[in-house]
Amino acid sequence: MSGYRKLSRTSDQRKALLRNQVTALLYRGKIVTTEAKAREVRKIAEGLIALAVREAGNYETVTVTAKVPRKDAEGKRVKEVVDGKKVTVYDEVQKEIKKDKPSRLHARRKMLKVLCPVTEVPAENAGKKRGTKKVDLVAKLFDEYAVKYANRNGGYTRIVKLGQRRGDGAMEVVLELV
């Protein structure tokens, strides 16, 4: 007996399907799917959330010096002429960044292996590349979900049955984060 459901798909199709559904679940908070798919997605999603909870505070804060371009009142870079060339003027700024410890970095890479990249498109820019932004789901796992589920021992998702699907009679469910 195998440890997973094959979902009547080849392995590459099944992996892609599960990756997409886990990504959608963590991005939106709930998805509607069949019961068999939901049970498989639940395993993966709960594993990722548990990993985030375990490694949530495993970082150190480091102060670094960064060169940032100086900007004028309109938000454009300030340039000055040096040896006949226009050169951007930079200011040095102290910034505090989170530096992952090795186990958290490993957890981050494991999550990136499973999650698909998500691009958020505002309503006014629908169908255009301009104005889109990439969503960092790994940061969302560490910053939101790890804090939310910090004192919970598993059971991060819930499956609610909706009934049979009209076309093929498959049991449809809502898989949601608790």
Helices (H), 29-136: 35-54, 102-114
Domain with CATH 3.90.1030.10 in the chain: 11-58+101-177
Eight-state DSSP code of residue 134: E
pTM for the whole structure: 0.85
Q: What pLDDT does residue 151 have?
A: 95
Eight-state DSSP code of residue 153: -
C-alpha–C-alpha distance, residues 56 and 48, integer Å: 12
Taking domain 11-58+101-177, whether its CATH number is 3.90.1030.10 is answered by yes
Mean pLDDT of 70-85: 91
Mean pLDDT of 97-123: 94
Work out the angle at residue 167's Cα, subtended by the Cα atoms of residues 163 and 173, and round it to the nearest 5 degrees.
30
Mean pLDDT of 147-166: 96
**Hey, what are 1's tokens?**
């007996």
Mean pLDDT of 10-37: 98
CB-CB contact of 23 with 118 (8 Å) = yes
